Amino acid sequence: MRRHSLNLFPQISNVGAFCTLIVANLSYNSFYPDSIIDLNHTAGEGQHGVRKRKGLKIGAGLIVFILIIDFGIGFYLYDLAIERNVKDFLSGNQDLEVSAEAMNVFTEGSWKDWVREQDFEEWKMESYDGLTLNGYYLEAEKPTNKTVVFAHGYLGRASDMGLFGQYYYEDLGYNMFTPDLRGHGESEGDYIGFGWHDRIDIIDWVDKVTDEVGEDTEIVLHGVSMGAATMLMASGEELPKNVKAMVADSPYTDVYNLFAYQLERMFTLPEFPILPTVGLVTNMKAGYALKEASALEQVKKAEVPILYIHGSNDTFVPTAMTEELYKNTKSNAEVLIVDGASHGESIILAEDKYLETLYGFIEKYVD
C-alpha cells in the first residue's frame, strides 16, 4: 500500500510561519517562566507556585503546538483532495486497480472513438453562485422524449460518461446530456464539491434540458462514483416532476465517512482530531461541511426510484456503503452487486447483467 509523506507547512505558507512564531514564543516562555512572571509577586509563592505556572505554560504550549499540527494537516488534506489543482496522489493506489480487461476498455475502448465521432452541442449555464458551467448535449438519431443526464466521477470529465451514454443512445434511443461538474473539465470552480453543491447544479441542468428539449421529456439521472453520490444528494431535494428514475453506480454514503475511510487506508491516520479540522477548513474555503454532504441523509427523503450498482470487490468506495444507502432509501429501490468487480468496473466485467438490470429498471418508470 502506497504511503504519502505529509510535508505540512509548505502547504500553508503564511499560516505556518505565523504559527511557528507562536510556538517559538510559547516554548521560550515555558522554559524561561521568569521572563514573563512578576518576580516580586512570585517570590511569596515559593517554588511550588513557580513550578505550577511553568507546568501550565508548558501544557499550553503543547496544546497550541498540537493544534498547529492539526490545522497544518487540515490545510494539507484540503489542498490534496478538495482544492482544484493537479492531483497525482491517487497514482498507484491499489484500491483503484482494475482488471486488465477493464483497463483496456477504460483507456482504449471503442466508446472513446464513438464520443469523438458525435456532434455534441456545447451548453453553458451560470450556477446559483455565479460559476460558468459547461455541459454537452447529443440529440438522439430519432425524435424522442427520453433523455439521460449523467454525472462523472472524481477528477473526471463529461466525456468519460460516453462509456455509458453509448448504450442509452444506441440501445434505448435516448438523448444524452453530460456536464463537467464544478471544479472539473471546462467548468469553473476552484474546489471539488464531492456532490453537495453539484446536486443543485444537476437540478439546474435538468431544468435547462427541459427548457431546451421540451417539457414532455422524461429524464433518467445516472452517475458513477462521485457522480453517483451527486445524484443521490439531489434525490432528497424537490426534483422536477419529469425526473423518472435514478442510477447510482459505486456511490458513497457521505463525504465525512468516505474521508475517514481513506484517511486510515491511505495514510494510517485517525479520524479524530484531523477530520473535524478538515471540515472547518472546507467550510471556510468551499462553503460546505463534510458531514453535511450526505447522500445517506438525502435518500431518506427520496421520492424518485433508485437503482444501486456496486462491485463486490470495491475497496476504494466500500460496497457496504451502497448496501447502507439501499437499506435507508425511502423511494422504490433496487440493488445489483456485481461479484468480483472493483471500483466502477461493473459495466465491463458484467456487461450483460448490468444492462439487463438497467434496462429492466428503467422500463418500470419511464413510459
| 239 CB-side CA count, 13 A | 26
Pick from 294, 289, 287: nearest CA to 278: 289
**How far are the Cα atoms of 56, 318, 367 from residue 52, in angstroms, in the given order?**
6, 50, 77
* Cα–Cα dist 10/267, whole Å: 19
Pick from 196, 168, 170, 172: nearest CA to 182: 196
17-41: b (≥16 Cβ within 10 Å) or e: eebeeebeebbebbeebeeebeeee
In this predicted structure, what is the pLDDT of residue 1?
35
Backbone angles phi, psi at 98, to 5 degrees: -125, 170
Query: Are the beta carbons of 229 and 252 closer than 8 angstroms?
Result: yes
* Cα–Cα dist 153/181, whole Å: 9
Query: Are the beta carbons of 267 and 6 closer than 8 angstroms?
Result: yes
Give burial (CB, 10 Å; 0-12/13-18/19+) of 143.
exposed
In this predicted structure, what is the pLDDT of residue 62?
74
Give 34-72 pLDDT, tens digit per residue.
Answer: 434 444 454 455 666 667 777 777 777 777 767 788 789
**Strands (DSSP E) along the chain, which ranges?**
121-126, 132-138, 146-151, 175-179, 218-224, 243-249, 306-311, 333-338
Query: Are the beta carbons of 232 and 203 closer than 8 angstroms?
Result: no
In this predicted structure, what is the pLDDT of residue 8?
29
Give 75-99 pLDDT, tens digit per residue.
Answer: 999 999 999 998 887 777 887 788 8
Q: Spell out, as residue ranges, where the chain has pLDDT lower than 70.
A: 1-50, 65
- pLDDT, the chain, mean: 88
In this predicted structure, what is the pLDDT of residue 65?
66
In this predicted structure, what is the pLDDT of residue 163?
98
Length of the chain measured in residues: 367
In this predicted structure, what is the pLDDT of residue 327?
99
Terminal C-alpha separation, the chain? 48
Residues 6+ apart with CB under 8 A from 117: none
Give me the sign of the Cα torsion angle 86, 91, 94, 96. positive
Residue 231's SS3 state is helix
In this predicted structure, what is the pLDDT of residue 56?
75
Give burial (CB, 10 Å; 0-12/13-18/19+) of 289.
middle
| 226 CB-side CA count, 13 A | 24
pTM of the model: 0.84
In this predicted structure, what is the pLDDT of residue 100?
87
| Cα 254 to chain centroid, rounded | 8
Give the 3-state secondary structure percentages of the chain, helix then strand then coil, rounded to 5.
Answer: 50, 15, 35
CA gyration radius for the chain?
Answer: 25
**How far are the Cα atoms of 6, 226, 258, 273, 292 from residue 279, in angstroms, in the given order?**
18, 18, 13, 10, 10
What secondary structure does DSSP assign to 166-223, as a single string? HHHHHHS--EEEEEPPTTSTTS--SB--TTHHHHHHHHHHHHHHHHHH-TT-EEEEEE
In this predicted structure, what is the pLDDT of residue 11?
36
